[in-house]
């Protein structure tokens, strides 16, 4: 109520004031110096850490559609070294995919050149000598048939990786085996037999599986004599369905057993030359792999060959 109770006095001398000011200035100077040193250190450290990233950017920029040989040097074991190794691995895969695509186009071009040359030759012959034209026309038509079959094969191989390549349906496994057996007999006169035709339903692309098996049957006729036996069979074993074509023909030596599944691969120095371009087995493999299965081959020279298409029952 307006009465004065006491007085609080804050006193500091000019000397104390100067001391405090001095301390504050010293602290500020040290702080600025530390900050500067830290900045410089961070600058250098960031430069070192980001160097591989910069290298990655430079390498990525220098990669063009034609030159895929560039790689990033991998140093140390840190996360960035891992990133560089992953990038290099990816480049390895890309490079080998590009090389195989280039070889594929190259081989396909060579393969198409032969029928084109033949057709041109016969057409020129027909122009200069119209009397023989019927016979020559038959040859031209035959070459064109082969050529269009070859182009169909190329298109099929190009589409095989497509997710909607397969038209799956539920089919009776025994019906497929029987259909192959019936159709294959028209291919050539052999001792055709059917074995262990399995009972049960499977989910497959019926047309594609028949196409693959017919190709195996066709190959079997090309490497056997009329007296040889060709067996078409199917069975269910350990969660897989097996379809096989077994022949008692010339067989395939061990060195070529893997290679013949490659595109354009044929066994050299055969007495009998197949009329195909060497794409058949790669198509069989592509169709089988689209069904998440695999092709097995058991073969012995002089004894015969068995090609088996093995498909997992639960995933197809």
Interacting residue ranges for ligand ADP, rule: CB under 6 A = 219-220, 223, 247, 249-250, 252, 260, 265-267, 270, 274, 276-281, 305
Distance (Å) of CA 205 to CA 10, 164, 176:
97, 11, 11
- Near Mg ion in 218-247, by CB under 5 A: 219
Residue 235: how many CB atoms within 10 A of its CB? 16
Please state the closest distance from residue 314 (CB atom) to ligand ADP, in A: 29
Tell me how many helices (H) and strands (E) the chain has. 6, 7
Contact yes or no for 242/216 (Cβ under 8 A) = no
Task: Pick the binder of Mg ion from 52, 249, 280, 304 (CB under 5 A).
Answer: 280
Task: Output the smallest distance, CB 291 to Mg ion, in A.
Answer: 20
Distance (Å, rounded) from C-alpha 37 to C-alpha 71? 36
250's contact among ligand ADP, Mg ion, none, with CB below 5 to 8 A by partner kind, is: ligand ADP
Q: Give the closest residue to 290 by CA, choosing from 164, 201, 152.
A: 164
Give me the least distance between CB of 233 and Mg ion, in Å please: 20
Interacting residues with Mg ion between 77 and 136 (CB under 5 A) = none
Per the CB < 8 A criterion, the answer to whether 207 and 167 are in contact is yes
Contact of 311 with 240, CB cutoff 8 Å:
yes
Asked if 249 touches Mg ion (CB under 5 A), the answer is no
- Among 276, 282, 304, 307, the residue binding Mg ion under the rule CB under 5 A is 276
Cβ proximity to ligand ADP, 121 vs 251, nearer residue: 251
Residues contributing to the site for Mg ion (CB under 5 A): 219, 276, 280
């Amino acid at each position: 109520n307006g009465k004065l109770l006491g007085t609080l006095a804050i006193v500091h001398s000019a000397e104390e004031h100067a001391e405090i000011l001095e301390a504050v200035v010293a602290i500020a100077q040290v702080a600025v110096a530390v900050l500067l040193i830290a900045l410089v250190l961070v600058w250098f450290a960031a430069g070192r850490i980001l160097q591989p990233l910069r290298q990655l950017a430079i390498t990525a920029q220098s990669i063009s559609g034609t030159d895929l040989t560039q790689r990033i040097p991998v140093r140390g074991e840190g996360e960035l070294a891992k990133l560089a190794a992953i990038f290099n691995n990816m480049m390895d895969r890309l490079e080998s995919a590009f090389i195989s695509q280039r070889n594929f186009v190259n081989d396909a071009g060579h393969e198409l050149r032969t029928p084109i040359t033949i057709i041109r030759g016969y057409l020129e012959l027909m122009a200069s000598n119209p009397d023989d034209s019927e016979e020559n026309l038959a040859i031209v038509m035959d070459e064109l048939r082969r050529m269009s079959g070859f182009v169909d094969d190329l298109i099929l191989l190009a589409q095989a990786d497509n997710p909607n390549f397969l038209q799956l349906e539920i089919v009776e496994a025994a019906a497929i085996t029987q259909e192959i057996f019936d159709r294959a007999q028209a291919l050539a006169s052999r001792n055709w037999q059917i074995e262990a035709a399995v009972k049960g339903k499977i989910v497959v692309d019926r047309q594609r599986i028949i196409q693959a098996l017919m190709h195996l049957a066709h190959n079997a006729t090309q490497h056997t004599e009329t007296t040889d036996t060709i067996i078409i069979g199917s069975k269910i074993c350990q969660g897989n369905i097996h379809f096989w074509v077994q022949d008692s023909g010339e067989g395939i030596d061990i060195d070529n057993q893997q290679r013949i599944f490659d595109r354009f691969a044929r066994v050299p120095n055969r007495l009998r030359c197949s009329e195909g371009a060497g794409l058949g087995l790669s198509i069989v493999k592509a169709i089988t792999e689209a069904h998440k299965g695999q092709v097995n081959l058991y073969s012995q020279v002089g004894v015969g060959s068995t090609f088996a298409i093995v498909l997992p029952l639960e995933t197809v």
